[in-house]
Amino acid sequence: MKHLNDAEFVGLLDGDLSDARARHAQDCADCRMRAAAMRTTLAGVMIDAVPPEPSPLFWEHLAARVAEAVQDEEPGSATLSPVAWVRSPALTWVLAASIALLMMVFVAWRATLHAPSPGLRTPPIARVAPDTVAPPPDGATAANFAGDGAAAAGDELESDEAWAVVRTAAEGFAWDDAHEAGISVHPGSAERVALELSGDERIELARLLEGALKRSGV
Amino acid sequence: MRDPNWIAAGGAEGQPSGRTAEHRGAADGGESAALLDADDPTLIEACLQGRRDAFDIIVQRHQRQVYLVCYRFVGTHEDASDLAQDVFVRAWRGLRGFKGNSALATWLYRISVNVSLNRVASKAPRLEPLERVERADHRIERADATLLRAERAAEVRAAIARLPRKQRATLILRAYHDLPHDQIAAILGSSVGTVKANFFHALANLKKLLQA
Q: What is the mean pLDDT of chain A?
A: 73
Q: Quickly state the pLDDT bin for A196 (edges 50, 70, 90).
A: confident
Query: What's the rounded mean pLDDT across residues B186-194?
Result: 95
Cβ contacts of A55 on chain B, cutoff 8 Å: none
Chain A residues touching residue B5 (CB < 8 angstroms):
50-51, 53
Q: Measured between beta carbons, which residues in chain A are less than 8 angstroms from residue B157? A: 48
Residue A125, pLDDT above cutoff 50: no
pLDDT at A69: 92
Of A42, A69, A73, the CB nearest to B175: A42
Rounded CA gap, B54 and B52, in Å? 5
> Which DSSP letter does residue B76 get?
S
A151 and A190, same domain (yes or no): yes
Output A119 or B140, whichever has higher pLDDT.
Answer: B140
Indicate yes or no: CB of B56 within 8 angstroms of CB of A42.
no
Note whether B132 contacts A: Cβ–Cβ < 8 A. Answer: no
The fold for domain B135-212 equals: Arc Repressor Mutant, subunit A (1.10.10)
Domain match, A124 and A96 both: no
Instruction: Examine residue A75 and state whether it is found in any structural domain, yes or no.
Output: no
Q: How far is A103 from chain B (nearest CA, A)?
A: 35
Is the CB of B47 less than 8 angstroms away from the CB of A75? yes
Is it the case that residue A63 has pLDDT exceeding 60?
A: yes
A212 and A135 fall within a common domain = yes
pLDDT per residue over A159-188, tens digit each?
A: 666 666 666 666 655 666 666 666 665 666
Q: Taking CB atoms and an 8 Å cutoff, what residues of chain A touch B64?
A: 59
Q: Is the pLDDT of residue A155 over 70?
A: no
| Chain A contact set for B94 (CB, 8 A) | 76, 78
Is A12 inside a domain boundary? yes
User: Is residue B7's pLDDT more than 60?
Assistant: no
| Choice between A146 and A64, residue whose per-residue pLDDT is larger | A64
Q: With an 8 Å Cβ cutoff, are A75 and B93 in contact?
A: yes
How many folded domains does chain A comprise? 3
* Average pLDDT of the segment spanning B90-117: 92
With cut-offs at 50, 70 and 90, classify the pLDDT of residue B18: very low
Given A38, A47, A67, which is nearest B149 (Cβ)?
Answer: A47
Query: Given pLDDT bands bounded at 50, 70 and 90, which one contains residue B115?
Result: very high
Q: Which residues of B touch A7 (CB under 8 A)?
A: 193, 196-197, 200
Give the per-residue pLDDT at B133: 45
What local confidence, expressed as pLDDT, does residue B99 receive?
81
CATH topology of domain B1-124: Rna Polymerase Sigma Factor; Chain: A (1.10.1740)
Phi-psi category of A151—alpha, beta or left, where left has phi over 0 and alpha has psi -120 to 50? Answer: alpha
DSSP state of B144: -
Nearest CA in chain A to B2: A49
Report the pLDDT value the prediction gives residue B186, as an integer from 0 to 100.
95
Q: Do B176 and A49 touch (CB under 8 A)?
A: yes
Give B-chain residues touching A58 at CB under 8 angstroms. Answer: 81
What average pLDDT does the structure give for chain B?
Answer: 81
Interface check B71 vs A, CB under 8 A: yes
Question: How many residues would you count in chain A?
Answer: 218
Q: What is the DSSP string of chain A?
A: -PPP-HHHHHHHHHT---HHHHHHHHH-HHHHHHHHHHHHHHHHHGGG-SPPPPPHHHHHHHHHHHHHHTTTS-TT-PPPPHHHHHH-HHHHHHHHHHHHHHHHHHHHHHHHHHSPPGGGSPPGGGGS-GGGPPPPPTT--HHHHTHHHHHHHHHHHHH-HHHHHHHHHHHT--HHHHHHTT--PPTTHHHHHHHHS-HHHHHHHHHHHHHHHHHHT-
Q: Is residue A156 part of a domain?
A: yes
Region B27-42 average pLDDT: 76
Question: Residue B203 — pLDDT band, cuts 50, 70, 90?
Answer: very high
Summarize pLDDT for B116-174 with one digit per residue, the tens: 999 987 765 555 554 444 455 555 556 678 888 888 899 999 999 999 999 999 999 99
CA-to-CA dists, residue A72 to A67, A69, A200, B44, B109, angstroms? 10, 8, 72, 18, 25
Predicted pLDDT at A115: 62
Residue A59: closest C-alpha in chain B: B16
Summarize pLDDT for A19-55 with one digit per residue, the tens: 999 999 999 999 999 999 999 999 999 998 888 889 9
Does B94 have pLDDT greater than 60? yes
What is residue A80's predicted lDDT score, i.e. its pLDDT?
47
Domains B1-124 and B135-212 share a fold: no
pLDDT grade, residue A124 (50/70/90)?
Answer: very low
Residue A63 touches chain B, beta carbons under 8 Å: yes
- The closest CB to that of B96, out of A10, A51, A75, belongs to A75
pLDDT surpassing 50 at residue A5: yes
The answer to whether residues A196 and A159 belong to one domain is: yes
Give the pLDDT score at B190: 94
Q: What is the domain extent for residue A174?
A: 120-216
Q: How many CA atoms lie within 13 A of A122 on its CB side?
A: 10
Identify the three-state secondary structure at position B20: helix
Q: What is the pTM of this model?
A: 0.60
The better pLDDT of the pair A216, A30 is held by: A30
- Each residue of A83-106: pLDDT tens digit? 454 455 566 677 778 888 888 887
CB contact under 8 A, A54 and B67: yes
The reported pLDDT for the residue numbered B72 is 94
Q: Looking at residue A53, what is its pLDDT? A: 87
What is the percent of chain A where pLDDT is above 70? Answer: 54
Nearest CB to B156 within list A6, A45, A65 = A45
For A146, phi then psi, to 5°, come to -60, -15
Cβ under 8 Å to A: B residues 136-195: 149, 152-153, 156-157, 160, 171, 175-176, 181, 193
Please check the confidence at residue B82 and state whether its pLDDT lies above 80.
Answer: yes
pLDDT at B131: 45
Residue ranges of the domains in chain B? 1-124, 135-212
> Is position A152 within any domain?
yes
